[in-house]
Amino acid sequence: MPLDLDELCQELETRHGCHTVILYGSHARGEGRPSSDYDVLGVRAEGEVIRDARLWKGHYLDAFIYPEEKLSSPDASMIQMREGIVLRQKGDLGTRFIEAVQDVFRAGPKKLAPDEAQALRMWAPKMLARIAEGDTEANYRRAWLLTQLLEDYFSLRGEWYLGPKESLTRLEADRPEDWAAFDRALAPAAPLEAIKALVELVIKE
């Protein structure tokens, strides 16, 4: 059963003094599953930035609580809120914030410096060689590499990385061949050749 969003707003007001609440992430995009977090931004007049992550009414709640002043200059860390839905707001504070975050998103991410891009392109093959040794540390590095490659794929192309769910969904829709390479490499017990093919895809210039 979906979470009652009016109750959620009341909970954040009571617990944290929030006057503005924005739902973002998969539930805001209509892609939420029963196991998906309810990603929420709550805004109060003042106070420290805190994160309120808990199981609430049978759903996983992941709420960031910001003071009003933090909304005045949104940055890259907030781009996942650009498609948020304003559930409650003080004046037009939430609406203006989303518009400002959309401007940050449209401007694009900061381009990697040449040496940073080169370092990423060297790191992945080095990890691949270590994985081939097959010991416990190698297996750890396999998981590390597979986790990092998705973010590096977008960074090396000068594009925003939007987290695993949104990034994979968009990749499947827009670049199905590249998505298929991730799908093969991320499968449980995928052969090393599938991971090697993904590394080559990610680091190609």
Domain span including residue 129: 114-203
158 and 103 fall within a common domain: no
Cα–Cα distance measured from residue 90 to residue 88, given in angstroms and rounded to the nearest whole number:
7
pLDDT of residue 35: 86
Q: Which residue has the tokens 């995928």?
A: 190
Burial 79-112 (b: 16+ CB within 10 A, else e): bbbbbbebbbbeeebbeebbebbbebbeeebeeb
13 and 74 fall within a common domain: yes
From 107, 123, 149, the end of a domain falls on: 107
From 65, 80, 107, the end of a domain falls on: 107
Question: How many domains does the structure of the chain reveal?
Answer: 2
Is the pLDDT at 31 greater than 90? The verdict is no
Q: What is the pLDDT of residues 139-162, one digit of tens each?
A: 999 999 999 999 999 999 999 999
Question: What's the DSSP call for residue 108?
Answer: -
Banded pLDDT at 40 (limits 50, 70, 90): very high
The CATH number given to whatever domain includes residue 67 is: 3.30.460.10
Strand, helix or coil at 44?
strand
Is the pLDDT at 2 greater than 90? The verdict is no
Q: What is the pLDDT of residues 112-136, one digit of tens each?
A: 999 999 999 999 999 999 998 989 9
102 and 9 fall within a common domain: yes
Higher pLDDT, 104 or 33: 104
From 74, 107, 140, the end of a domain falls on: 107
pLDDT-above-90 percentage for the chain = 92
